[in-house]
Structure 1
Amino acid sequence: MTIAIREPRDSDFFPWLSLYEAYTAARGAALTEQKALLLWTWLSDPAHVESALIAVDDEGEVLGLAHFHTFPRPLEGDSGTFVDALYVGAEVRDETVGTRLFDAIRDYATGHGAGVLRWTKGHDEQLPAALTNAGAEASSPEVHELQLTAQRVAQPA
């Protein structure tokens, strides 16, 4: 099976929604129709800070999702990327899909000058191997971060 990582398209809404409902349930959050539509609107707007990637198989079935956004780090003179959601459907949960999504986010972050990649985990949640094998360290019991080697943005004179 070939796995492709790409941005979601309009036709991906219902498969994405199914995965996102499973993700929110696993996190103990309530997902309303209003929240789901608002998030999809954000993800569909190239000008919005929230971005998404999905993993699809040969037939175009959505296997996993990742949501993330960039945030400024004024003291460091760069930005960071925060992973808001990384989820792989239970029927295909293996190292490959999660790792491919995580690698794509890391590539995005590095390519956009991020100096750090951060994500949280639930209190009793086990981190996927894709995240624990990346060399990240816990900056608190629930927040993990991976230092990146990003190009610093030149400061105006």
Structure 2
Amino acid sequence: MTVTIREARDSDFFPWLSLYEGYASERGVDLTEQRALQLWTWLSDPGHPESALVALDESGEVAGFVHFHAFPRPLLGETGYFVDAIHSGDDSVAQELFGAVREAAAAHGATVIRWTQADGESLPAVLTDAGGEASSSAYFELQTAAQPA
């Protein structure tokens, strides 16, 4: 499938939402309207660190998305990119999306791209086949008293 990759636009909301609902469902997350709108607000704000690219198929329909953000690497004085979500029903589309993130990372001087995998989660082959290696770092999570927006 030939795809075009570009930044998400306001007109992409409903096709993106349909795909994002599938992404959330696959991960066992109850995607509320409030959560979806909060994320879309972030993705639509050029000042927010979270970014989104969409893949358009030959007919111009949204066929996949990737969400990512830059993060500082203070000890090394570098920047990295973190892929928060990548989703498409077609591995070749996911590969194109990941390739676009790699290009953006290189263009902005990011020296690493990271992503996480939950126990039992099946990631798109593009992530596991991209030449990445398991990190020597363990990530921990602590819930705070803050209430989600």
Determine helix, strand or coil for the equivalent of 2:123: coil
Aligned to 1:105: 101
> What's the counterpart of residue 144 of structure 2?
none
Q: Distance in 2 between matches of 1:141 and 1:128?
A: 22
Check conservation: 1:81, 1:114, Cα contact below 8 A: yes
Partner residue, 2:77: 77
Cα offset, 1:110, TM superposition: 1.3
Alignment CA distance shift 1:10-1:121 (3 Å): same
Counterpart position of 1:126:
122
Q: Which runs of 5+ in 2 are unaligned?
A: 140-149
The alpha-carbon deviation at position 103 of structure 1 amounts to 0.5
- Distance, in Å, in 1 between the alignment partners of 2:7 and 2:43 is 9
Q: Kindly provide the amino acid, as one letter, of the partner of residue 125 in structure 2.
A: A
Task: Please give the per-residue CA displacement for 1:105-125, whole angstroms capped at 9, x wherever unaligned.
Answer: 111111111111000112112
Can you list the C-alpha shifts for 1:4-51, whole angstroms capped at 9, x where unaligned? Answer: 011111111000000001001111111111111111111111111000
Over the aligned positions, Cα root-mean-square deviation in angstroms equals 1.7
- The answer on whether the counterparts of 1:122 and 1:142 sit within 8 Å (CA) in structure 2 is no
Query: For residues 1-157 of structure 1, what are the structure 2 equivalents within 5 Å?
Result: 1-89=1-89, 93=90, 95-139=91-135
Secondary structure of the equivalent of 2:17?
helix
Shift of 1:142: 8.5
Instruction: Name the SS for the 2:115 alignment partner.
Output: strand
- CA contact under 8 A between 1:98 and 1:130: conserved in structure 2? yes
* Identical pairs, percent: 62
* Structure 1 Cα separation of the partners of residues 136 and 20 of structure 2: 26
The structure 1 segments of at least 4 consecutive aligned residues displaced by more than 4 Å after TM superposition are 140-143
Higher relative strand content = 1
Query: Given the two structures, how large is their TM-score scaled by the length of structure 1?
Result: 0.83
How many residues get paired?
139
CA distance in 2, matches of 1:99, 1:119: 15
Partner of 1:148: none
Distance 1:5 1:115 in 2: 22
Structure 1 unaligned blocks of 5 or more: 144-157
Label 1:140 to 1:14 Cα distance change in 2 as closer, same or farther (>3 A).
Answer: farther
